[in-house]
Amino acid sequence: MAGVTRAHVRTRRGRWGVLAVAAVVLLVAVVASLAVGSRPVPPAGVWAALTGGDVPAADAAAVVGLRLPRTVLGLLVGAALAVAGAVIQSLTRNPLADPGILGVTAGSGFAVAMSIAVLGVSTPAGYVWFALGGAFLATVAVYLVGTLGRARVDVAQMLLGGMALTAVLAGIVSAIRLTDPEDFSALLVWEAGSFQARGWDVIVPVLPFALVGLAAAPLLGPALNALALGDDVASSLGTPVVATRLGCVAVIAVLAGSATALAGPIAFVGLMIPHAARWVTGPDQRWVLGLSAVLGPVLLLVSDVVARVILWPGEVPVGIVTAFLGAPVLVVLVRHRRMVGQ
């Protein structure tokens, strides 16, 4: 298929087939995420540990106590970021959009860091609201910077706006952390996304928000398909244009916000995955959203496994790995004129 850009699977059966293959790949990624680490456990041992079979206590502790919550984290964050990326690319008509690159996750992380440092919020249940609010404000801000004063969205303008926003907010967070490195070590997570030391205590309070966002996104699919034809055509087809846009902003804020509350700002997942999904299924948003929700976790789980082995026996933040993998994709996309249209 090398060099073929219109490789879309067009039949319904073919698309379900693709989805099934993606699901199998996801299963493999889940097993790898449970098995790989500074204490490797063979797949059979993983199964035994999960079903309460007879395994060494240390293996069981590693799999059930450490890697199971981490894998759930990867599933949630990956799906949330990939779907948020698909929606934000569609909303902004910007193929280079991504909640991380555009500064949405930075806004979210900044709000959380401020709530921790200034208001003394300490529990995930408390700061998840700040994560959502910060993501919402950043989405609106970036959308305004990118669309200000012109009918067409300016892709470069939007990217630079996101970069500037990220730089300012991350700079303030690290300034706050540097004023008291010991008390504010918790803020490190909000500078580079990481799955380290994030357990059920973080997952449980954020889970409902992530699930609501993931459930709401597919509802936008048909309206986004209509909006792709232009605002006028969409409204003549009976699509409520403004309501759809507001819905998109809300879904992006909920998904990117909960992903950030779970793992800190992680970039490039929302850029890469929707492009991969669109490449396979074609421009139908319903399929792009669905396939993104499966492929996003694959990317994040694989990145997390890489993050665990690359500095064996230590590990690096998973956001580092996604940035390293994702940046070349951005270069390829921008060299591909048709995709960017500038």
Partner 1 sequence: MSGVGTGDTTAVRTHPHRARAAVVTGALAVLLGVLVLLGLALGDYPLGSLDVLRVLVGAGGDDFASTIVLQWRLPRVLAAVAIGAALAVAGALFQSITRNPLGSPDIVGFTTGAYTGVLVAMTLVPGFVGGFAGTATAALVGGLLTAAAVLLLSYQRGVQGFRLIVVGIAASAMLQAVNTYLLMRAQTEVAMTAAAWGAGSLDLVGWAQAAPATALFAVLGVGVVLASPLLRQLELGDDFAAAHGVPVEPARLGILGVGVALTAVATATAGPIAFVALSAPQVAKRLVRGAGLPLVASALTGAVLLTGADLVAQHALPVALPVGIVTIVLGGVYLLALLVGGARARR
Catalog residues that contact partner 1 under the rule CB under 8 A. Answer: 96, 101, 145, 148-150, 154-157, 159-161, 163-165, 167-168, 170-172, 174-175, 178-180, 192, 267-268, 310-311, 314, 316-317, 320-321, 323-324, 326-328, 330-331, 334-335, 342
CB-based contacts of 154: which residues, under 8 Å, 6+ apart?
146, 147
Extract the tokens encoding 274. Answer: 């929707």
Compute the least distance from the CB of residue 111 to partner 1, in Å: 17
Rounded to an integer, what distance in angstroms lies between the CA atom of residue 269 and that of residue 271?
5
Compute the least distance from the CB of residue 201 to partner 1, in Å: 25
Compute the least distance from the CB of residue 93 to partner 1, in Å: 16
Rounded to an integer, what distance in angstroms lies between the CA atom of residue 328 and that of residue 222?
31
Of 61 and 333, CB closest to partner 1? 333
Query: CA angle, corner 138, sides to 337 and 80, nearest 5?
Result: 75
Q: How many Cα atoms within 13 Å fall on the side-chain side of residue 154?
A: 13
Alpha carbon dihedral 267, 272, 275, 280, in 10-degree steps, equals -140
Of 124 and 326, CB closest to partner 1? 326
Of 7 and 160, CB closest to partner 1? 160
Of 1 and 331, CB closest to partner 1? 331
Compute the least distance from the CB of residue 32 to partner 1, in Å: 21
Compute the least distance from the CB of residue 134 to partner 1, in Å: 16
Compute the least distance from the CB of residue 266 to partner 1, in Å: 12
Of 58 and 197, CB closest to partner 1? 197
Of 212 and 330, CB closest to partner 1? 330
Rounded to an integer, what distance in angstroms lies between the CA atom of residue 273 and that of residue 295?
6
CB-based contacts of 224: which residues, under 8 Å, 6+ apart?
87, 90, 91, 244, 248, 285
